Amino acid sequence: MEFEYRGWVIDATPDFSLGQFFAHARLIHGSPDDDADAEMHIERNLAWFDNEDEAVQVARQ
């Protein structure tokens, strides 16, 4: 689940393991030049949740 914010793409897709959803946020800054690769700057692990929607909400915030 990706969301755009001021030139950044926030990937809030949770991982699923051992019956729980692990919320994390990957922040990717896209280049205005189409020939340049996007750069991932931050990945932050957040918490475990029983439900996917909660994991996405926390990662998005």
User: In the chain, which stretches have pLDDT less than 50?
Assistant: none
The CA–CA distances, whole Å, from 50 to 23, 26, 54, 59 equal: 10, 20, 8, 14
- pLDDT, residue 32, reads 57
- pLDDT, residue 31, reads 60
3 state DSSP class of 26: strand
- pLDDT, residue 40, reads 64
Contact 25, 6 (CB under 8 A): no
Handedness of CA 45, 46, 51, 54 (dihedral sign): negative
- pLDDT, residue 30, reads 66
The domain spans of the chain are: 2-60
